[in-house]
Every structure is written in structure tokens, then in C-alpha cells.
Amino acid sequence: MEDIDEQVENEVYREDEDPQEVLENFIKAGKITADVAASSKSLIIEGESILDIAETIEKMIVDAGARPGFPATISINDYAAHYAPESGCETLIGPKDVVKVDLGVEIDGCIGDTAYTIDLSDENGKLLDASRSALMDAVAAMKPGVTNGRIGEIIETKIKSYGFRPISNLTGHMIKRYLLHAGVSIPNVASDQKYELQEGDIFAIEPFATNGAGHVSDTNQVEIFSLIEPRNVRMRESKRLIAYIIQNYFTLPFAERWLAKDFKSRLALNASLRELLNFGVIQGYPALREAEKGLVSQFEYTVVIEHDGARILTDYKMD
């Protein structure tokens, strides 16, 4: 596995990469992300299959000349994030659902990440306004020298002003090439975190508002995975799966259903995924549910920090 380890290390931390070229790819990915997000809103209708929605969004990304940066997730009502429909999922959108759609676009490892919420009941407009307004206030405050803790305070203050709670254990995140979560977070509550934003930093900002407890818990639904590091494993099919992940997804998240076309035996695939999880080769992302089953809204932009503020890379009309 040493050659694969070196490949991962060299690709993520390339010394010869051109920062301007990388930024241009983030800009291109952001534009496609915004276009797909805007177009995909029409898919969120009563009776529609969430599996069909996710696969249609992913196809729209491919048709635009890019790749999904991660599996499209459709999180409904008290599910806050990471709900990626599995193969054969029969869940349909209900007439009063609060639906969160989170999607990403990748170009040469550079990712645009965005999310929006649609309330089919038309009864939770204030909840949606809370997270959307918090997002806009956060973006307006972002510039070099401002701390991530301060941005969290701004988000919390805005959401509470609407009478709701921010979700304290979900955060925005820095993005780097091939690293969707690159170490620095943007909290949704006030904190003493003191990372100072720097020109050129790229962040996904995603305030979550809820009428519940204000935190989420893991569920047993796990359909999204990503590579941590290659290791020696026992089963031949698991070794094949490691090579496949590196070749097709590298360090970026992928869905179990994406593997089905090349791994025909579901039993063998599940066994391999379990082994890779047990050996620490991959990590899983459980669907996250609000602790008191409160409704959750989410809006998200990807931004780049410039000398005098933040530029939105995934800009589209969220209303």
C-alpha cells in the first residue's frame, strides 16, 4: 500500500499546484453548483422519490461537465443532514415536508457546496428565514482578520432573533482541493475559536435552525463514506474496493449505491465496506437527526475570502 499512500499524500498536498488555477476551478465548480441548485428546486414536489431526486441532481452535474463532489442528500423534517437515499429507497416527498437538499460539484478536486430548504407546507417560513438570514449575515461579516468564533456568534444571534435555536454540533467548514472538510470549522454558535480568516480561504457556510433541542444525533442510516487512508486488508474484494475508491473518488465522499454498477454482489460489497470501516480505511457519515425531532432548515453557500470581504462562489436566488 505504500505507493497508494504516496499518491494520496502527493495529490492532496501538491507543491507544484498553481493557486490561481485552483481558484479558477473553485469558481467554475461554484457556478455549476449554483446552476444545478437553482434548477433542482423544481424537483421538490409532493410524491416525488428522494432517490430519483438525488440521482437526477447527480446526472445534472455530470451533464454540465463536472462530477458530484459528494452524494446529493435529501434530508426531510427532523433529519438535518447526510441523508443520502440508498439503492431501492422508496421514500417519497410528503405534502407538508420540510426538505433540505445539499449538493456539491467537483472539478479537479475543487468543490462547490450548497444547500437550500423548501417547505411544502408553507407553514414554516420563519424557520427558513432564520437560517437564510443567518447565512447572509455571516457572509457579510467575513473578511480577513475576523475569527471563526465571531462568525458563529453572528449566526447564533440571528437565528435566536427569530425565536429558534442554531444546531450547535453542526458547522460550516474550510474547503481545500480534494479536502471537503479541511480542518477549520465555522461554528453555528458563539465560541472562543480564534482562527482568523485569511485572503484566499474557501469556506462552506451552512447555518442550521431548528425548533427543537439545538443539536443532532447519529442514526443507523449510513450511505456515505470517504477514504481515510489505505491499509493492508485481508479480503481480495476489499483490496479491489480500495483501489476503486482511490481511482474514482480519491479522498472525496461517495455513496454505496455508486459502487453497485461495478460491484455486482451486494453481499460481497457490504462485507468489504465493513472490513474497510473496521480497519480504519474509510469512515462513514451517518444521517443526522435533531435530538428532539424538531424541524430543521439549512441554507449554504461556498465563499472565498478576498481582501475586503467574502465572494459567494455558489450564488443563486435562494427564495
Run of H or E including 98? strand 98-107
Cα angle value 48/49/52 (rounded, 5°): 110
Find residue 104's DSSP bridge partners: 70, 113
**In the 8-state DSSP scheme, what is residue 270?**
H
The catalytic site residues sit at 102, 113, 173, 181, 206, 300
d(CA 106, CA 120): 30
Instruction: For residue 167, give the C-alpha cell.
Output: 444546531
Q: Residue 142, exposed/middle/buried by CB under 10 A (0-12, 13-18, 19+)?
A: buried
d(CA 130, CA 189): 14
Instruction: For residue 210, give the C-alpha cell.
Output: 431548528
* Cα dihedral 304→305→307→312 (10° resolution): 50
Place of cell 442510516: 221
d(CA 82, CA 73): 6
Run of H or E including 133? helix 125-141
Using DSSP bridges, classify how beta strands 216-227 and 254-255 pair: parallel, antiparallel or unpaired.
Answer: antiparallel
d(CA 31, CA 316): 9
